[in-house]
Amino acid sequence: MDKAKLLEVQKSVREQLDGCVNFWLNNGIDKENGGVYTCLDREGKVYSTDKSVWMQGRCAWTFAWLCKNYGVKPEWLEASKSCLDFMEKCCINREAGDRMYFTVTGDGKPLRQRRYFYSEAFYAIANAEYYGVTGEEVCLERARRAYDMYWNLWHGMPDPTGLGAKTIPETRTGRGFGYPMIYLNMTAVMLGVDPERKALYEERAESCVSDILKYHLHPELGCLLENVGPNGEARLEFTEGRVINPGHDIEGVWFLLEHAKRTGDKALVEKAELIFNQAFNAGWDKEYGGLLYFIDACGLPPESYEHDMKLWWPHNEILISALMLYRDTGKEEYLDKFYMTFDYCMKVFYDKEFGEWYGYLRRDGKPTMPPCKGSTFKGPFHLPRMLVMVDKMIDELVK
């Protein structure tokens, strides 16, 4: 390990974190209605006032988590609380069992309700992290309630919104990788602030790990499948059954590694290595560099038009997982992949002039035009989370 090289990366990471945080504080926070705008162009100008509910929760979590890691700053805590208050006031469908909306207008009128319960996931971790910093009991109560709602909806509770399954269940049902993966991460956040329910959280975390390895990991195919049948069977006769999202797999890797470190499960580290190597080797673009967004398990044409684009967040997840694998295994190959990915990101994603990273690149690494720094799906979450985690891991490694 070259400590000087790692420290040089850390210097860049800290500079980028400062720029990223200020980019969102200066341009995204809605001082009139509360919450955060995330549809920002390259310079930080708002190009759509509709608000993503995912991003309200993710932003609230990010700024509370910054306080946890670097000490409370009033502007960080204020940003977190603004998003929490906006969600409480505008983003919950009180007439449908407190299910949350997916998007709302700038002033908080409901726009879209989705069957998925990821809005609830990010609401839960936001309230949990804010409670961890402030001790406000009402936030812990909200976090627990949303955490349990996700579990219950996932395990068959009728959806109060009345929205049905994505496909006609009499024809096709199955399992999605996102549900156990995101819940595993939620559980890690809850464990960090709510020791009273530790036994419950550990039990559910083990259930998530079991689901991922039992149903979604298919070593015989050399991949982790995003969608499988009810018993984990690979369904290769249609495109949805062959979807591999390499970035999603790699994000799941560090969720598994966190669980392995907490529980001392060395065998799980080996499984996480397998998932990382499969996803990285299959998804890394050998012609242009960077990670492809979707690939097909059988090498057939992917259905998603954006399959060969390069998005910011999968590269954030490589940087976290590769460095964590190096930390936990000592294998230099993961440090090499970390550096290779970091160099690629500095070349194509990082905007030195206006700060932050471009969200969406073409396969050749050039930004889609006109370029943006935020969208319904991109806000202050993946990038600052990566920068903080890499900063802290480098501290751990060099010391």
- Measured CA to CA in angstroms, residue 11 lies from 96, 320, 358, 359, 395 at distances of 48, 16, 20, 23, 11
Which pLDDT score is estimated for 165? 86
Hey, what CATH topology would domain 175-368 get? Glycosyltransferase (1.50.10)
Burial class (CB in 10 A: 0-12, 13-18, 19+), 159: middle
Burial of 97 (0-12, 13-18, 19+ CB in 10 A): middle
Angle among Cα 123, 124, 127 to the nearest 5 degrees reads: 85
Whether the Cβ atoms of residue 68 and residue 76 lie closer than 8 Å to each other: no
pTM (predicted TM-score): 0.97
pLDDT at 127: 98
Beta bridge partners of 100: 92
Q: What's the CA gap between 199 and 255, in Å, rounded?
A: 19
Q: Supply 282's token pair.
A: 């299959």
Domain boundaries, the chain: 175-368
Please tell me the predicted confidence (pLDDT) of residue 51: 98
pLDDT averaged over 10-residue windows placed end to end, the chain, 399 residues? 95 98 98 98 98 98 98 98 98 97 98 97 98 98 98 96 91 96 98 98 98 97 97 97 98 98 97 98 98 97 96 98 98 98 98 96 97 98 98 96
Query: What's the pLDDT score for residue 164?
Result: 87
